């Protein structure tokens, strides 16, 4: 009798790739947390760039962010490109960029488009499987006038639901 290998369906058996992120932005010390759904690249752009087939991923998620300047419930939309696996001292490097849209924020305002770009590494640091650490620059915007920008450091934990 031949048995097929079992695939990991995740915590709830949905097979949904997600991640949870905590972020600190060094502008006016903005703290942020977000949860994302991680989507595979249907166009297989990584393969076309000479990288792994799954080198490009898209993230869409919701979060909370706040500083002394503003508070926001942001919608995130990111694209990340993983470079050659293990090519940075045995870690998996990546570059990414994304948009940050304010769904609801300070002054009961919706609207305001910010963004971010970052570089990072995915590695097993001994927490739980592989963890992503990124360094970049981000801007959160609430309405037309409230903004908070600065260097950011983020820690993300991939999680399969």
Of the candidates 76, 30, 38, 74, the one whose C-alpha atom is nearest the C-alpha of residue 56 is 38
Detail the DSSP E strand segments found in the chain.
17-26, 30-40, 56-66, 71-82, 92-105, 113-123, 131-142, 146-160
Provide the whole-model pTM.
0.85
**pLDDT by residue, tens only, the chain of 161 residues:** 444 444 556 566 666 778 888 888 887 788 899 999 999 888 888 888 888 888 999 999 999 999 888 999 999 999 999 998 878 888 899 999 999 999 999 999 999 999 999 999 998 877 667 888 999 999 999 998 899 999 999 999 888 77
């Amino acid at each position: 009798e031949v048995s097929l290998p079992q695939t990991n369906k995740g915590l709830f058996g949905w097979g949904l790739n997600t991640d949870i992120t905590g972020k600190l932005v060094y502008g006016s010390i903005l703290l942020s947390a977000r949860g994302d759904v991680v989507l595979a690249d249907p166009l297989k752009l990584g393969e076309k760039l000479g990288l792994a087939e799954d080198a490009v991923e898209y993230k869409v998620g919701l979060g909370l962010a706040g500083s002394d300047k503003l508070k926001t419930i942001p919608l995130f939309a990111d694209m990340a490109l993983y470079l050659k696996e293990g090519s940075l001292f045995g870690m998996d490097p990546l570059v990414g960029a994304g948009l940050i849209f304010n769904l609801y924020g300070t002054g009961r305002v919706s609207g305001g488009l910010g963004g971010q770009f970052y570089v990072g590494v995915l590695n097993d640091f001994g927490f739980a499987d592989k963890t992503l650490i990124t360094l970049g620059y981000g801007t959160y915007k609430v309405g037309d006038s409230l903004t908070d920008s600065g260097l950011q450091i983020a820690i993300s934990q991939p999680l399969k639901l």
